[in-house]
Structure 1
Amino acid sequence: MAAAIASLTVLASGAGVSIPTATGSMPLGAAWAQDSSVSADEVMGYAASVLQMDAPRNEAFSQIKTLLTGTSHDISSIDMSCTGTANLNQLPRSLRSDVRTIIVNYCNQASTIVQSNGLTVRRFNTITAAHPQNPALAEQIRAAMVQLQQQSANGAE
């Protein structure tokens, strides 16, 4: 996953360490410079993606944390991005493959979620990079997430 995804933890909340949420790679500045306009449909697709990724992200985080129990490694010291798995070499050899598999499975699932919500992974990453520099966009995303959560809660009644 791109480094651009790190800011998503603010939106997605949850665990203190972010497992990024879409594959792809793009520098933060370049992503924002490419297209500063985000349509209402894209905001809704982005918000839906973030909400749908939360449970799988927490599950992946929990699985990795469980694997690390009893080791001297803190989960916060591991870069769990799809493109940043090189630091997994600092883990005991017996755990590397399992942690990498969890991350890859999550990344594939996140990519599918993004695409099912009408966005490309590249566009998702562009929006992720853009919202920290654009308070209006960040507010639109937050409002869309609240709206989707309310619709979900009303549908569950």
Structure 2
Amino acid sequence: MRRRRNREQPHEPFTPTTSGAIAIAIQEIVTVIEILEHAHSQITELSDASNETISSASGSTLIPSLYARAGLASINGRHDIPLLASEISLLEAAVINLESYDGNETVLCAGYELLDNFTYRRRNADPLSSVHGILTFAGEAGDTASGPATPSLA
């Protein structure tokens, strides 16, 4: 027997279970992606682990989400995107794994510098919302100063 959905109750918008995220600048996104890609490359080259294990150990599964958030932020005229605490943990794992897998010293230093900065910023986490399945900061999903965030089909 199928359960009927009560159509009189409005559908609640997506609300993440986390209390918020830190704001990271576009240049920091570039650095995070470089670190994750380097970790993936090094672990792939020096490990015989499965692709799934390598993706988890390198944090490379985060890259598509970062690109999506950066694109949405760009459309909205913002210069920062949200990064969840669990995603900071992925970066931390990638940096730690780079130490074991002969990571480039410059990349390691950049990774530890970002981790220090992100740890400090965790105290000021911002609330989140979702636009088309992409995490964004609450309140930025509406119209921007230059017009709506999504193109008009009219």
TM-score between the two structures when normalised by the length of structure 1: 0.30
User: By percentage of residues, which structure has more helix?
Assistant: 1
TM-score between the two structures when normalised by the length of structure 2: 0.30
Larger radius of gyration: 2
Higher relative contact order (CA 8 A, sep 6+): 1
